[in-house]
Amino acid sequence: MTKIRMGMVGGGEGAFIGAVHRMAAALDGEIELVCGAFSSDAARSQRSGAALYLPPERVYDDYHEMMAAEAALPAAQRMQFVAIVTPNHQHFPVAEAALRGGFHVLSDKPATLNLDEAIKLRDVVAETGFLYGLTHTYTGYPLVKEARARVAAGELGEIRKVVVEYPQGWLATREEDTDNKQAAWRLDPAQAGISSCMGDIGVHAANLAEYVSGVSISEICSDLTAFVPGRTLDDDGAVLLRFDNGARGVLHASQVCVGEENAISIRVYGEKGGLEWRQQEPNTLWLKWADRPTEMLRTGGSYLGSQAAANTRTPMGHPEGYLEAFANIYLAFAGQVRAHETSQAPDERANDCPGIDAAIRGMTFIELAVAASASDIKWHQFKQY
């Protein structure tokens, strides 16, 4: 057994999410970063690679060079998968080049710049036979997995209502006019696509709603806006949801809620009970009942199910947060890579990793939310592609 070898595209100097990906990948000792093309600027890529103690010959000026050079290495040395941590407009071309070059792909979300690219990407995945994963981080929390398991087991009964929120406040002023690189690309249609708020965080909320509730969005009614003058992309939005089992839902996402940090949360209500989880207090899951007291479940408890247990690293009372949840996605994907390359079936944990289907649904949600907001028609069908 050897570590799974990872390459990275993007995530160089000044990039927030690249460092998060690297920490998550390294946390369990299963994955090793062996190469990268860390910036579209060759000098910055080289500096970034040097800061990560990579040998100069494994730090590339661009991703095309990286794919060709890595494919030419002996199988025991070359990278096995590529982590994509670029702005959105680069996700598809890098993923396609990696898959066609013989490498698995784990991409930051949203999967692509637009839905057409996501559909093309699904075809490339099917054609090449390589793995594709998507870092919907919040599905990696142990108690989110426990919530999903409790719903699937029927403890809440038939699902009736889903309320999911993702408020932030960091774009309440024109950060894109400063040297804030993260704000600048997220509010640039050429790099982010047709949405800022829904594309960056609303898609996480939609994914979490479906993941926990076990039901799929079938229709939406959307109201998006850009509150800060001069912006062409949304910085706030509310979406009414209808689900395929008849349940109703509300999704609120905003980047202009002053004072909010990263407050994604979800409440799910069924005919027998409800549940609530908040990312800023991730070690607690509340179960609510009509005929008995509310229950508080805690990460690490012996009463939790197998998926929650498999994604927990420490005893009760030791907070496990964002990096650990992110690492759970990486650990699951590494398990898929091991299984793929040994022709074995992935285990339960490895199977629970967002993939190309989540990519398609995410891009469908983003484009439909934007289209519905611009339309006078109330309800818009969430199509299957």
pLDDT at 124 over 90: yes
Q: Is residue 170 part of a domain?
A: yes
Token code pair at residue 140: 């990696």
Per the CB < 8 A criterion, the answer to whether 104 and 346 are in contact is: no
Q: Alpha carbon of 338 to those of 89, 102, 345: distances in Å?
A: 29, 15, 9
Q: Are residues 31 and 100 in the same domain?
A: yes
Instruction: Tell whether 280 and 177 lie within a shared domain.
Output: yes
State both tokens at 343: 């022709």
Mean pLDDT of 296-312: 97
Give backbone dihedrals phi and psi of 97, rounded to 5 degrees, phi first. -60, -40
The better pLDDT of the pair 16, 366 is held by: 366
Query: Residue 381 corresponds to which tokens in the numbers above?
Result: 């069908």
Q: Is 323 contained in some domain?
A: no
Query: What 3-state class would DSSP assign to 164?
Result: strand
Picking from 78, 85, 301, the residue whose alpha carbon sits closest to that of residue 185 is 85
Q: Which long-range contacts (CB under 8 A, 24 or more apart) does 224-231 make?
A: 224/195, 224/197, 224/198, 224/369, 224/370, 224/373, 227/256, 228/171, 228/172, 228/173, 228/174, 228/256, 230/174, 231/176, 231/187, 231/196
Residue 110: cis peptide before it, omega within 30 degrees of 0: yes
Query: 169 and 311 share a domain?
Result: yes
The model carries a pTM of 0.97
Distance CA 166, CA 79 (A): 35
User: For residue 247, how many other CB atoms are within 10 A of its CB?
Assistant: 21
pLDDT at res. 64: 97
In a domain, 322, yes or no: no
Q: Minimum mean pLDDT among 12-16, 43-47, 168-172, 211-215: which range?
A: 12-16
Q: Are residues 310 and 178 in the same domain?
A: yes
Mean of the pLDDT values across residues 122-142? 98
If asked whether residues 334 and 299 sit together in one domain, one would say no
Report the pLDDT value the prediction gives residue 344, as an integer from 0 to 100: 87
The pLDDT value recorded for residue 369 is: 98
CA 305 to chain centre: 23
Q: Indicate whether 336 and 365 sit together in one domain.
A: no
Task: Domain count for the chain, please give it.
Answer: 2
Tell me what percent of the residues of the chain surpass a pLDDT of 70.
100
| Cα three-residue angle 143-145-146, rounded to 5 degrees | 60
Q: What is the mean pLDDT of the chain?
A: 97
| E strand spans, 115-235 | 132-134, 159-167, 217-225
Least confident among 58-62, 155-159, 175-179: 175-179
pLDDT at position 188 is 97
Same domain, 93 and 155: no
pLDDT number for residue 112: 98
Buried b (16+ CB within 10 A) or exposed e, 112-132: bbbbebbbebbebbeebebbb
Is residue 1 predicted with pLDDT exceeding 80?
no
- Residues 343 and 377 both lie in one domain: no
Query: Is residue 27 within 8 Å of residue 324, measured between CB atoms?
Result: yes
Q: Which domain holds residue 340?
A: 4-136+328-352
Is residue 321 included in any domain, yes or no?
Answer: no
